[in-house]
Amino acid sequence: MSPTAQTLNEPWGDGRDATRAVDGAAPAPYMNPYLAGIGLGLVLLAAFVIMGRGLGASGAVNAFVAWVVGSLAPAHAQSNAFLAEYLGDGTTHPLKAWLVFEVLGVFAGALLSGLLAHRVRVSVEKGPRVSAGLRLALAFTGGATMAFGAALARGCTSGQALTGGSMLNAGSWVTMLAIFGGAYALAYFVKWQWR
Amino acid sequence: MNTPFYKYGAFGDETSLVVAFVIGIGFGFFLERAGFGSARKLVSQFYLNDLAVFKVMFTAIVTAMLGATYLAWMGVLDLSLVYLTPTVLWPQLVGGLVLGIGFVIGGYCPGTSVASVATGRLDGLAFVLGLPVGTLLFAEAFPWIRGFYENGSVGVQTLPGVFDLPYGLVVFAVVLMALGGFAGASWIEKKFQPR
């Protein structure tokens, strides 16, 4: 079974009990992609103009891991060049970082948008042929894989592809093209997850 | 008026964290509006049923790029003060491939996974839990992969610098590429429309 155009534009499309959000209302359709892109671009532009930096996500994870390791094994964290960078000189809490607060904002903004459009509901997104448990395992694996890749590439889809892409950063374009390349190369082999 | 405001000392580090949260709200809001809290919507990019990822991302890139270029040309925004990650060719190429692989396995990227958790997706939560695990693996492996991590380091490089072309010409080329891509995306979507 392949998704129909209809289900792709619904938030869950898992065929369960129609598509009702936590508030019982039917979900609103998604925004036109070009309009959403302009909105996203203006947010990014605001970050450039106000802060002199762009958006990010994986950097917040790095700060979080540096804080956890730094709390449990301070000497080990300090001796690790990758983590030490996020610990700084010890005068500032590692979680008191720009990207950590930005990511908290991402959660709040997405929740706001989801509630306004009746798209908040507890669900596991998957195709009909995989169990929820397998889907969760794959999502966990994908998250770990992307975090590893982001550390290597010095940023993820937010920090490199989106931010660096719009600043014409050469390394960001290499990373962006490689992300699409890697995803397209493997897509066929994990299609069963969704169909 | 001189911007970036933060770089010109218009406000301090404490305030910058409030700015981070507010900008994050905008980021998360438009990610969710676009449907990017949904794994199926995101991965449809790689099965060619729905190219919203490309459309949203490149509209955002073009919007921010044109805005930043215009403000720089007006003398309002000093582009040299906007932070760019240095280019390190080989780890960014490999890191990008790993990011793409993780994307189709997990169904999200680090930023969009936050939007998915905010809208109740448990697979998104599993993805988010995987992120620090991947980062920790990278950090622990860092002493051994550090050589590769710094292989091909060429400092901050922009596309106009690499190809020795005027900045405006590269901006124009990216706009043309995006417009061609949007037309191509609509054509591909029709061809791969799920029934």
What is the pLDDT at residue B1? 83
What was the pLDDT predicted at B96? 98
Task: Report d(CA B83, CA B60) in Å as an integer.
Answer: 18
pLDDT one-digit tens code per residue, A47-68: 999 999 999 999 999 999 999 9
Query: What is the distance between the alpha carbons of residues B186 and B171, in angstroms, rounded to a whole number?
Result: 23
Note the pLDDT of residue B101: 98
B122: nearest CB among A124, A144, A183:
A124
Using CA coordinates, name the residue in chain B closest to A97: B17
| Average pLDDT taken over every residue of chain A | 91
Q: What is the pLDDT along chain B (195 residues), one digit of tens a residue?
A: 899 999 999 999 999 999 999 999 999 999 999 999 999 999 999 999 999 999 999 999 999 999 999 999 999 999 999 999 999 999 999 999 999 999 999 999 999 999 999 999 999 999 999 999 999 999 999 999 999 999 999 999 999 999 999 999 999 999 999 999 999 999 999 999 875
Residue B28 to chain A, least CA–CA distance (Å): 4
Contacting residues of B for A104, CB less than 8 Å apart:
21, 24
Give residue-wise pLDDT tens across range A71-98. Answer: 999 999 999 999 999 998 888 999 999 9
Q: Provide the whole-model pTM.
A: 0.95
pLDDT surpassing 70 at residue A16: no
Instruction: Please state the rounded mean pLDDT for residues A31-48.
Output: 98
Residue of A nearest to B117 (CA): A107
Q: At what angle do helices B89-106 and A170-187 cross, to 10 degrees?
A: 40
Asked if omega into A74 is within 30° of 0 (cis), the reply is no
Task: Report CB contact under 8 Å: A101, B17.
Answer: yes
CB-based contact A11 B55, cutoff 8 Å: no
Report ipTM (2 d.p.): 0.98
Half-sphere exposure of A117 (CA within 13 A, CB side): 24
CB within 8 Å of chain A, chain B residues 53-112: 55-65, 67-68, 71, 76-77, 79, 81-89, 91-112
CA angle centred on B173, ends B92 and A159, rounded to 5°: 30
State yes or no: pLDDT of A11 exceeds 50. yes
Residue range A30-44: mean pLDDT, rounded: 98
Per-position DSSP letters for chain B, written without gaps between them: --BSTTTTTSS-HHHHHHHHHHHHHHHHHHHHHTTTT-HHHHHHHHHTS--HHHHHHHHHHHHHHHHHHHHHHTTSB-GGGS--PPEEHHHHHHHHHHHHHHHHHHS--HHHHHHHHHTTBHHHHHHHHHHHHHHHHHHHHHHHHHHHHTTTEEES-BHHHHHT--HHHHHHHHHHHHHHHHHHHHHHHHHT---
Model confidence over B140-183: pLDDT tens digits?
999 999 999 999 999 999 999 999 999 999 999 999 999 999 99
8 A C-beta contact, residue B20 and residue B13 = no
CB of B193 within 8 Å of a chain A CB? The answer is yes
Give the mutation candidate from B1, B3, B30, B170 for the A interface (greatest A CB count, under 10 A): B30
The answer to whether residue A1 scores a pLDDT higher than 80 is: no
The pLDDT value recorded for residue A24 is 79
Residue A14 tokens read as: 């898992």
Contact across the interface for B41 and A52, Cβ inside 8 Å: no
Residues A110-121, mean pLDDT to the nearest whole number: 96
Q: What percent of chain A has pLDDT over 70?
A: 90
pLDDT tier for residue A106 given thresholds of 50, 70 and 90:
very high
Question: What backbone phi and psi angles, to 5 degrees, belong to A52?
Answer: 75, 25
Contact between B129 and A47 using a beta-carbon 8 Å cutoff: no
Interface of B with A in 132-171 (CB under 8 A): 132-140, 142-143, 145-146, 149, 156-162, 167, 170-171
Report chain A residues whose CB lies below 8 A from the CB of B139: 65-66, 69, 80, 82-83, 151
Note the pLDDT of residue A17. Answer: 43
In this complex, the residue of B60, B85, B95 whose CB is nearest that of residue A44 is: B60
Q: How confident is the model at residue A18 (pLDDT cuts 50, 70, 90)?
A: very low
B88 forms beta bridges with B153
Identify the closest residue of chain B to A47 by CA–CA distance.
Answer: B23
Q: How many CA atoms lie within 13 A of B129 on its CB side?
A: 11
pLDDT of residue B129: 98
Q: Which of A14-18, A109-113, B166-170 has the lowest mean pLDDT?
A: A14-18
Identity of the residue in A31, A47, A105 whose CB atom sits nearest the CB atom of B33: A31
Nearest CA-CA distance, residue B25 and chain A, Å = 4
Residues of chain B neighbouring A185 (CB-CB closer than 8 A)? 97, 100-101
